[in-house]
Amino acid sequence: MTVHESSQTVEIDFVARRYLAGGGDPAWITVPLHRACGWSHGHDPLMPRVILSSPDQKALLRLEPDPDSAWWTIQHAASPDRPAWYASFGARTPVEIIAAFTDALTAPTGDVADAWDPLAPLRDAGWSPTTQDNRLASPDGTVRVDLHEATGTWWVTTTLNQAQRPVWQAHFSEHTPPHLITAFTTALTDPTPLARISTVDSLPTRDPHLVTHTRAEVRASQIAFVLEDRVRTLAARHKTPTAPPGLPRRPSADPRHTPSSPPPPPPPPPPAPPRLPSPHGHPRRRRPPVPPRLAVRQPHRLPHRAPLGALPADHRPAPPRPALAQRW
């Protein structure tokens, strides 16, 4: 990978055929499983391995760099309608093809019916059968897909030469859901090139008849957010959809009122009482109602006292003066 600081671009190699593009970045699988699908990690930070378990604790993914066995293994516990199963992938299996398997495994609306045919995408892509039954080979002869009917297992093997060890190999045990294997074979035949930021020296082969790579300059910001976009896309599958606008309103408590009919009118006021005839021949006018009288607090009165007796002479009031005679 070459970074041009002046233009902020990165040189990316787009490799085809994709099954010969190399392993790629394992974060393409592990990060979305943890951040978008809720898988928890329980690996030892002092050990060079990754262990992720599904939220229901029925599936376990293990990534362990073992040169003598598969690097990727997925184990699934038994369920009421299916026995336990497992899948494994070699170190150089492209992570984009493995991600198709894990994306189908974590899909909230996955179709687990047995009507899927994992060989159908291969036939549609022009893969030809070999001398053995239930075996298809890629047009360049580097990949074989085998179904062992006796054991019910699937094998996908990529080789450059029959005398050499396989470049990578995938194995699906008996009872692996067919829709997961179909997702894997569909991604296997996808003609879209895979982006690699490493040099072409890491490719399993540089034979131009088998592998073609095109180098292009891509903005560094675009490369940095590709994984984030994948996480957001997968996380959106698990969100509860909100009610779209325009749905009928919630019915009211009045059973007579429905969303399609207007609310009932208010009841009419009670009729006024008839006027009584007046004895004077005129209609009697109704007097306005008299408001209730408020209780008036009475002033405090002293208790009655008996007279103290006759007053002394000097304290008696003077008699009234006689009126003067009127002059004539």
Residue 248, pLDDT score: 47
DSSP string, 123-192: HHTT-EE-SSTTEEE-TTS-EEEEEETTTTEEEEEE-S-TTS--SEEEEE-TT--HHHHHHHHHHHT---
Handedness of CA 169, 173, 174, 175 (dihedral sign): negative
Residue 195, pLDDT score: 92
Q: Could you tell me if 85 and 168 are in contact, meaning their C-beta atoms sit under 8 angstroms apart?
A: no
Predicted structure pTM score: 0.71
Residue 328, pLDDT score: 41
What dihedral angle (degrees, nearest 10) is formed by the CA atoms of 84, 189, 110, 157? 10
Residue 91, pLDDT score: 94
- The phi and psi torsions of 52 (rounded to 5 degrees) equal -125, 140
Residue 200, pLDDT score: 73
Residue 304, pLDDT score: 53
Tens-level pLDDT at each residue, the chain (328 residues): 455 554 588 889 999 999 999 999 999 999 999 999 999 997 677 888 899 999 999 999 999 988 778 999 999 999 998 999 999 999 999 999 999 999 999 998 866 777 799 999 999 999 998 777 778 999 999 999 999 988 999 999 999 988 889 999 999 999 999 999 999 999 999 999 999 986 677 888 888 899 998 988 888 888 878 999 999 999 999 876 555 555 444 555 554 545 555 666 777 776 666 565 555 555 555 666 656 555 555 555 555 555 555 555 555 556 655 555 444 4
